[in-house]
Structure 1
């Protein structure tokens, strides 16, 4: 098997689309998964997240929450999908800018909101 310009271009295209090395090997034919990985490495193609090691889809758990992360709770703590926002916290606050705007409202705005709710 030789790496022709066409095969290399196809490798670049499929790699960029996130196709696995095994699938690329099958599509190209007459090449192994390891050969695809080696060629991608020699071409300097960017690394990709492992399809096997999935990252948490959203937010942060109590175990990976740091002082610089937004601690806004999302969901019900009784459910498995409960998490914290996890975005970068606003300096000096426990929340990101978006959640700080909700948590820290001026007193006048809060009274106006309470009046609207009471009038409804």
Structure 2
């Protein structure tokens, strides 16, 4: 079903008159109640009065995503207002939380970082490390390509990164 300009105008007029989505769907014909509701939301038409009084506001546009921050950057993020019952009234308490992104590198004195052979996807074999390096959308993207272990897709260095014992993961989560 296509939403022609005439059908959209009729939808807007019927919605403004206060008809329900089911009634509008019946008058338009060939369209479901849910299709009418979806189109109303996409057009940001004003909401209806609720039984509790007042009208529902039109759908608000989504906020833009925040710009990415460098890692290790501390951010001050406001929290939602916390409502707590106190007597007959509700008190609102605004707070702020410090969020710190921390990256903990596990180092070992006997670890040797291999020099990547910089293989492309078509150059990989069963015996080469398939650890991806870089952004897949850039021209510099490649795979490690070092010799892999018998039963692993990764070389010994990348296998240690990929497969951590459960006890170490639990420590890192705390």
For the aligned pair, the TM-score class normalised by the smaller chain equals 0.3 to 0.5
Please tell me whether Structure 1 or Structure 2 has the larger radius of gyration of its CA atoms.
2
- Name the TM-score, length of structure 2 as normaliser: 0.33
Give the strand-richer structure, 1 or 2. Answer: 2
